[in-house]
Amino acid sequence: MKKIKIVSLLLLSLLIINSAFAKSDIEYLPQDQPPSILELAFLRELGPSILEAMSTHGKMQLFTSGRIEKIQRNIQEDYYDVTLRALGYEGPINPPYSQIRITFRIPAGDFKNKNKVISYEAKNITPEEFKKLSEFTN
C-alpha cells in the first residue's frame, strides 16, 4: 500500500512539474551579433506598431537600430510577448537620442487588436551610448 502511494505521489509530482514547464518558452536573441534576416523581417512587420506605441506612450520620434531582445511564448494562452529595443532620434539622426524598450503581446487570431503594448519604457541616452547600441544593427 505504501509503495502504491509513493509511486502515485511521484507520478503526480512529475505531471505537475511538466505542466509548469509547458506554460511558456523564452528565447533571448544575441545582441552582440548582427541581426538575422528573420529578425529584420519581423522588425519590418512591427514597424507600424512601434511608431504607434511611440506616439501613444511616449513622444513621437523617428527610430532606428531596432533589435528584438526576447520572445516569450505562452503555449496555453496561445500568444507571444515580444520585447524589442529601438533608438529614437529627431531630425536627420540628431540628438536628443532615446532608448525605447517595448513589449508587444501578439495574440493568435485577434487581428483587430494586433500587437497590444504590454510595457513601454523610454530613457534618454548620450551620443556615445547611441553609437554603442547601434553597433550590431542593420
Return the higher-pLDDT residue of 102 and 58: 102
Residue 21 has pLDDT above 90, yes or no: no
Spell out the domains of the chain, with CATH numbers in brackets. Answer: 23-133 (3.10.450)
Instruction: Answer yes or no: are the C-beta atoms of 20 and 76 closer than 8 Å.
Output: no
Q: Which residues pair with 64 in a beta bridge?
A: 87
Q: Which helix (H) or strand (E) holds 84?
A: strand 79-90
**Per-residue pLDDT, 42:** 94
Read off the pTM.
Answer: 0.78
